[in-house]
Every structure is written in C-alpha cells, then in structure tokens.
C-alpha cells in the first residue's frame, strides 16, 4: 500500500506538470508509513478526517486508485464527482470524511462526529489528521477542549512534517515537543517518529484502543518529513539539499523493503509487487483520462437549492 501511494503521487505530479490536473496538488511522499499504519488499526465503521494532503490516507483507507486519479483529473468518475479535486477527496462509504482546505477547520468536525458516536452509543472512533501548523489555529483549541472535556472517542494525529508551507516549527511554536499540549486539554499525549510503519501501527493502536474503551481522546504527534514541496508550486528553497538528503535516508518505503529482504523475502517477489503497483497506477491514469469530465448539472445541484426550497 505504501508503494501504491508513492507511485500514485509520482504519477499525479507528472500529470500535473503536463496540465492534466488543475488546481492545487499537495503530495504526501515521505509520510506514507503514517497513512498505512494508522488506517490499519481502524475498523470499517470508524471515521477519518484529513487536510488537503489527503491522497495517501484515502488510498490507504481503500479508495480505489481509479476514483482517486479521476478526481484529480476533474472527472465525473472521481470520488467527489470531479468537483473537489486533490484537496477534497471524500468517500462516505469508507468513512473517509474529507479532504479539507481550511487549516485546523476540520478538527471541530472530527470532534463533532466523535460527539455523535458517543451520544448515540455507537462504537466508532474518529481519527483526525492535521499538520503541525494547525496546532496554532483557534479551531485546534476549540476541538481539543471539548474533546477533552467530554472524553470523546477521537484520536488527533498531528503529522509534524517540520514545515508549515515554508515556515519551520521553531518560528511558530515555543514548544519543540507538541505532545505537551495534550495535558492542557486533559488528554493523553504521545510522540514518536513516523518512518517505521510497524512503530506507528503499534503506538497509534494504543490511542485507538483508549478511545474505543471510552477512556477519552489522545493527541499524537508523529514526527515525519515531506520529500516534496508544500504543493506543486513550491520549490522548497527554505531547506537545504543536505537536510533533504539526510531525511531521505529514512524513506519509509525503502525501510520496509530493506526489512523484508532482511527477513529473507525473495527480492523478485518484491519486484513483482512493484510491477503490480505500476500496472494498477497506469490503469488508474488510463481510467481517469478516458472518463467523462465533471458534469455541470451535478455541480449546480450541489451549489444551489432546488427552486422553491427555502
Ligand atoms: C485558516 C487557514 N490559514 C491559512 C491557510 C493557507 N495554508 C494552506 S496550507 C498551510 C500550511 C499548513 O501547514 P501544516 O498544518 O503544518 O500542514 P502541512 O501542509 O505541512 O501538511 C497554510 C498556512 C489555510 N489554508 N487556512
């Protein structure tokens, strides 16, 4: 799955450059271990929220690559009927509730679904992903405060990839360890590195178990790094080549390959998986390319209330 995400996004970048994808495109390359491990410990009935950097989590949650690529291409067969594009993936069936563009805004929505689950007595956990930039936004405070007070079944996952657009964390936060913030909201905090998929899975499972047992929310800070710019229009000049190269030494996808080889898995078997992934993504591009564009009547039906409705 980490390879699916990696190849999906490399191909998305290529088609963005070719002009086949419009709007914004924020890549998740380098952060894949988090999406795969975190969604692995959730049940199908659980809810997930993510920012605009949403392709990885959506794919890990089971969204078909076809529907994801078609959305990027602005096609009617896309997961949001081609109306949302990269930042607004949505898949109600899989409990993937977006794809949100307002930094910190969706944390309150996550507290909302968690409140609903608790109120209705449903065994559902909400997992909400966001960047470290969100932790300075008013919405973060509101959501964390109510979640802590009402012991809501939610896991707040801060993917600290070190930069909010071009601004490093030390220029926006007096804290290096963001997980300390959890204490102020009466919830458990955790903090760990995000490049090892097994570590992420083990640690995030603890937070999910806590929420499911009715023991309240957790704020998890996962330290990670994005290998590409903030979005496709960002050449990322605010960081050095050396820093980037050092971080790439901890490429989560390469680490898994190394580990599997170390365990005696046949290299050809891994190459076969890579080939299968290539085929899946190539097929998704063909599907997106050949699909019909987003339809005006669908767009109008989601923007305007039918005539006569008040
Ligand atoms: C309320 C709000 N302010 C500003 C922006 C512009 N903006 C988009 S992404 C971003 C940086 C967010 O960084 P972070 O939360 O660390 O997430 P990352 O992009 O690193 O995943 C900003 C400031 C926005 N979308 N919403």
CATH number, domain at 10? Answer: 3.40.50.970
Tokens representing 59 are: 């794919």
**106 ligand 1 Cβ < 6 A:** no
Give a yes or no: residue 308 inside a domain.
no
| pLDDT of amino acid 47 | 98
Q: Is 230 a pocket residue for ligand 1 (Cβ < 6 Å)?
A: yes
Q: Give the tens place of pLDDT for each residue, 21-69.
A: 999 999 999 999 999 999 999 999 999 999 999 999 999 999 999 999 9
Range of the domain at 116: 2-299
Please report the pLDDT score of residue 303 as a whole number. 78
Structure tokens at 290: 């050949």
Pocket probe mutation, ligand 1, options 26, 52, 103, 224, max atoms within 8 Å of Cβ = 103
What is the pLDDT at residue 302?
83
Residue 134 lies in a domain: yes
Within a domain: 310: no
Tally of structural domains, the chain: 1
The per-residue pLDDT for 304 is 74
> Is 131 domain-assigned?
yes
Please check whether residue 273 lies inside any domain of the structure: yes
| 161: nearest Cα among 133, 138, 186 | 133
* Residue 143: predicted pLDDT: 98
Q: In what order do the strands lie in the sheet with 126-131?
A: 96-100, 47-51, 126-131, 154-160, 218-223, 188-193
Domain-located, residue 200: yes
What gap in Å lies between CA 157 and CA 189, rounded to an integer?
Answer: 10
Per-residue confidence (pLDDT) for residue 239, from 0 to 100: 97
Report yes or no on 304 lying in a domain.
Answer: no
Is residue 105 assigned to a domain? yes
* Segments of the chain with pLDDT less than 70: 309-310
Pocket test for ligand 1, best of 52, 165, 221, 247 (most atoms within 8 A of CB): 165
Atom from ligand 1 closest to the CA of residue 133: 15
Polymer length of the chain: 310
Tell which residue, 245, 285, 238, 235, has the closest CA to residue 9: 285
């Amino acid at each position: 799955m980490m390879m699916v995400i990696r190849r999906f996004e490399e191909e998305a970048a290529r088609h963005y450059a070719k002009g086949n994808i419009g709007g914004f495109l924020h890549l998740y390359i380098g952060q894949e271990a988090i999406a795969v491990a975190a969604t692995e410990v959730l049940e199908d009935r659980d809810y997930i929220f993510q920012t605009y950097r949403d392709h990885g989590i959506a794919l890990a949650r089971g969204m078909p690559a076809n529907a994801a690529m078609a959305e990027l291409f602005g096609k009617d067969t896309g997961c949001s009927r081609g109306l949302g594009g990269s930042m607004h993936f949505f898949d109600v069936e899989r409990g993937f509730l977006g794809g949100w563009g307002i930094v910190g805004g969706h944390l309150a929505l996550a507290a909302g679904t968690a409140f609903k689950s608790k109120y209705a007595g449903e065994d559902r956990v909400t997992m909400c992903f966001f960047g470290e930039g969100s932790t300075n936004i008013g919405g973060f405070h509101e959501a964390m405060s109510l979640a802590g007070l009402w012991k809501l079944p939610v896991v707040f996952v801060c993917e600290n990839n070190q930069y909010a657009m071009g601004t490093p964390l030390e220029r926006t936060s007096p804290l290096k360890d963001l997980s300390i913030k959890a204490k102020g909201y009466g919830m458990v905090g955790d903090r760990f590195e995000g490049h090892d998929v097994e570590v992420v899975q083990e640690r995030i499972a603890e937070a999910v178990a806590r929420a499911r047992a009715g023991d309240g929310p957790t704020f998890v800070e996962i330290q990670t790094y994005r290998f590409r710019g903030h979005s496709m229009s960002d050449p990322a000049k605010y960081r050095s080549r050396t820093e980037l190269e050092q971080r790439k030494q901890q490429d989560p996808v390469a680490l898994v390959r190394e580990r599997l080889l170390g365990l005696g898995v046949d290299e050809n078997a891994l190459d076969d998986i890579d080939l299968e992934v290539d085929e899946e993504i190539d097929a998704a591009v063909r599907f997106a390319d050949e699909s019909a564009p987003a339809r005006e009547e669908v767009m109008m039906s989601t923007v305007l209330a039918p005539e006569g409705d008040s």
